[in-house]
Amino acid sequence: MTTELLAPLDLAFWHLESPDHPMHLGALAVFEAAPGARTGADDEALLELLATRAAAVPRLRMLVRDVLLPVGGAAWSVDKDFDVRRHVRLVGLPPGDFAEEASRLAGELMERPLERGIPPWEMYVLAGGPAGDGAPGGDGPAAGTPPGGRPFAVLVKLHHALADGMRAVAIGAGIFDQIADARAAGTRRTRPAPPRSRLPGPWQLAGMARNRLGDLGRALGIGASVVRASRLDMRGTPALTAGSSGTRQLATAVLPLEDVRQVRRTHGGTVNDVLLATVAGALRRWLLERGEQLPDRDPRSDPRALVPVSGRRPSRARQGTGAGGGSGSGNMLSAYLLGLPVSEPDPRSRLTAVRGAMDRNKKDGPSRGAGAVAVLAGQLHPLAHRLGAPIAGSAARILFDVLVTSVPLPRATLSFGGCPLREIYPMAPLARGQSLAVGLTTYGGQVHVGLVADGKAVPDLAGLAKNMNEELNELLRATVPTAAAVVAAPAAPAAPAAPAAPAAPAAPAAPAATVSAATVPVERDMSALPAVSAGADLVG
């Protein structure tokens, strides 16, 4: 039987799961409507295409089984009874706004834990909505949507033990097409041969025991660093660490990538620094709108963000994946922790604080500080994960308040069933004790923001999504002198050049950064973003 031991961090995600805190990550991919009125038969064809593509990904045929050795361990094993129909589903959305219905259903579907006796993943085709409805991040029809067409979306749901963010992207490459690719949509792909057994033999087990002695010293060093950096005596942010109801909701926003770059060019730092500062400013607005008291410039009131960092390069994520995801190695990541300066009223100072904190994190490295819990997990014996998962899960709220994760996508324009991908929103899991997770990715010259929250703890999630756009506009005004005129109100008419020939009124300013569903040429500069997992990579 084809087998492969779960890596320690994969095992941690597997055992951290509970009914109210499922450890799966996901993405909602929204596609442009095809020309003409799509019928139910067309929807079934999309489902068949999805099933064919998913069945050809070796990683998606693997399930988790317990093993005798090492004690407490588990292994990936090929499901001999694999039936792709148990994993792919077609859901017709009710009439109305496609954006609203797709986001609502995506949140509900992400509430449900994945079945454990089969490969832990699901994919859905969300079909329906009359032509012209907006995508989740938009407020109207997408550019180029043909008359009579109906939008559709694909929801991808993968257990975090199965894939981190980079591996999820590699799996997606086996599902979706690149427009420049010569493959015809619907072409059946050759299924790679499954990997050979990777269960250790007696000599390998002896070597593993020796290695564990060396790992123990490294684990103690990392553990001491985690304890020193942990904020055990500091309060969290109640609005972000409320009790869990087990419900999930999704809200989305779209930010112009060029605006983010403009702030970066003026102020320095990275694209990621600007996005983290935007998240901090949006949270500040949102907390004030909720009536929260925020003492000025008091770091003790600032929520602490976990920013996962991958140890996997994109090329490495694709190695051994066959058609988008072979068995290969598991999660490879650590994380940075930083206080999001929501108590700072000045947007420029917030950006400076974020940039300084990230620079310090990078200098120390991902194996030091409280964010290195993920690295520490990789040094522990499998039995420690099996027995200690409940304690580790409860510790999440002590270490951080909110997850902010970034997932880089390929530069190429993607499509499915002949329909170009227009928007894609990452969906991260919520750790125990957390109410909010923020996922970021870039595609088509835009930053797509997926906000996942507990449905009862954060009922006003749409307001936070709106604040992302408002905060980026504020950051533009505060950091880019020429941008102030771009995002300000339209200018007053120019003064007359001469009494006999008054000058024409000045042209109105360009619109501010808003939620938009327009598809623009692919433009991507994510080199500054850490290649990270779309999930809560400290505790899942």
321 neighbors 166 (Cβ within 8 angstroms): no
φ/ψ of 474, rounded to 5, equals -65, -40
- Across-strand partners of 12? none
SS (HEC) of 463-481: HHHHHHHHHHHHHHHHHCH
SS (HEC) of 213-281: HHHHHHHHHHHHHHHHHCCCCCCCCHHHCCCCCCCEEEEEEEEEHHHHHHHHHHHCCCHHHHHHHHHHH
Instruction: Output the pLDDT for position 412.
Output: 86
Instruction: Output the pLDDT for position 443.
Output: 95
Distance of CA 259 to the CA centre of its chain: 21
Say which residues have a Cβ less than 8 Å from residue 212's Cβ, sequence separation at least 6: 381
Instruction: Output the pLDDT for position 395.
Output: 58
- Which tokens hold the place of 497? 């050049």
| Secondary structure tally for the chain: helices H, strands E | 14, 16
Angle at 203 between CA 200 and CA 205, to 5 degrees: 50
465 neighbors 337 (Cβ within 8 angstroms): no
* Helix H or strand E segment including 49: helix 40-55
How are beta strands 419-427 and 414-416 bridged, if at all? antiparallel
- Which tokens hold the place of 389? 């998962």
Instruction: Output the pLDDT for position 521.
Output: 31
- Which tokens hold the place of 532? 């990270």
Instruction: Output the pLDDT for position 358.
Output: 93
Residues 294-310 as b or e (16 or more Cβ within 10 Å = b): beeeeeebbbbbbbbbb
* Helix H or strand E segment including 30: strand 24-31
* Helix H or strand E segment including 394: helix 382-394
| Count, residues in the chain | 540
Q: Which residues in 302-445 belong to E strands, given as ranges?
A: 304-310, 333-339, 402-406, 414-416, 419-427, 436-443
Q: How far apart are CA 225 and CA 368, in angstroms?
A: 6
DSSP string, 331-356: --EEEEEEE--TT---HHHHHHHHHH
Angle at 411 between CA 444 and CA 438, to 5 degrees: 65
Q: How far apart are CA 415 and CA 522, in angstroms?
A: 13
Give the torsion sign (CA, 487, 489, 494, 495): negative
Written as one letter, the residue type at 157 is K
Alpha carbons within 13 angstroms on the beta-carbon side of residue 463 total 11
Instruction: Output the pLDDT for position 59.
Output: 93
DSSP string, 113-125: PPPSSS-SEEEEE
- Which tokens hold the place of 181? 């690719």
Alpha carbons within 13 angstroms on the beta-carbon side of residue 313 total 3
Complete domains list, the chain, with CATH: 3-178 (3.30.559.10), 209-407+428-481 (3.30.559.30)
Q: How far apart are CA 497 and CA 482, in angstroms?
A: 24
Q: Which ranges of 144-239 does DSSP label H, i.e. alpha helix?
A: 165-173, 202-229
Nearest to 32 by CA among 150, 201, 200: 150
Q: How far apart are CA 53 and CA 492, in angstroms?
A: 56
Alpha carbons within 13 angstroms on the beta-carbon side of residue 181 total 21
Q: How far apart are CA 366 and CA 388, in angstroms?
A: 23
Q: How far apart are CA 406 and CA 535, in angstroms?
A: 9
Instruction: Output the pLDDT for position 538.
Output: 26
- Which tokens hold the place of 77? 């094993």
Other Cβ atoms less than 10 A from the Cβ of 349: the count is 14
Q: How far apart are CA 361 and CA 381, in angstroms?
A: 27
Q: How far apart are CA 313 and CA 31, in angstroms?
A: 28
Burial class (CB in 10 A: 0-12, 13-18, 19+), 343: buried
The per-residue pLDDT string of the chain (540 residues; one tens digit each, 9 = 90 and over) reads 467 888 887 888 898 888 888 999 999 999 987 666 567 778 999 999 999 999 999 999 999 999 888 878 899 999 999 999 999 999 999 888 888 999 999 999 999 999 999 999 999 999 975 544 455 655 444 433 444 467 899 999 999 999 888 889 889 989 999 865 434 444 444 444 444 445 444 444 444 444 443 443 444 343 444 444 555 445 567 778 777 788 999 999 999 999 999 999 998 899 999 999 999 999 999 999 998 888 777 887 789 898 988 665 554 444 444 433 444 455 656 778 889 999 999 999 999 999 999 998 888 776 555 444 454 455 555 666 565 556 555 555 667 889 999 988 888 899 999 899 999 999 999 988 889 999 999 999 999 999 999 998 998 999 999 999 999 999 999 876 655 444 544 444 444 444 444 444 444 443 344 333 333 232 333 333 333 343 333 223
**What are the Cα distances from residue 90, in Å, to 47, 49, 87, 124, 274?**
6, 12, 10, 6, 38
Other Cβ atoms less than 10 A from the Cβ of 483: the count is 21
Instruction: Output the pLDDT for position 468.
Output: 98
